[in-house]
Amino acid sequence: MAVHIMTLLAYLGEKATSEVLAETVNTNPVVIRRLLGELAHAGLVRTERGKSGGFSLARTAKTISLLDIYRAVMSDTELVPLHENPENHKCPVSCKVRGALSAHLDRAQGIYERELQKVMLADIEKNM
């Protein structure tokens, strides 16, 4: 949804209100304001309050990557989370498996994120 909204802001090229944005996603303006709050916090979106306020991109679509958006809105930092049950200290596997696994998952996620970093919002927008 974040990419949808960001693409729309790029496409429009001007300020838009949460109400207008909500319509194109078929959701509620508050949902949009919450989402854009995270994007604004990450410096991707500019917010203007009050009459004739609204949201706009804080940077050009060429300089915003899918990774920027992903990081701004994904609360879970892990693509594939580890289970969180407590360790059984009698079991060596229980004690070590998380570390061994996360090393590989983190490396794979790094590669995934580098792919997202290569794709700019402008690449998405030009298909609209």
Partner DNA sequence: TTTAATAGTAACTACATTAGTTACGTATGA
Partner DNA sequence: TCATACGTAACTAATGTAGTTACTATTAAA
**Contact positions vs a second copy (CB under 8 A):** 1, 3-4, 7-8, 11, 23-27, 66, 70, 79-80, 83, 85-88, 90-94, 96-101, 104, 107-109, 111-112, 115-116, 119, 123-124, 127-128
CB of 118 to DNA, least distance (A): 26
Residue among 50 and 110 whose Cβ is closer to DNA:
50
The DSSP result for 44-112, as a single string, is SEEEE-STT-EEEESS-GGG-BHHHHHHHH-S---SSPPP-PPP-TT-HHHHHHHHHHHHHHHHHHHHH
CB of 114 to a second copy, least distance (A): 9
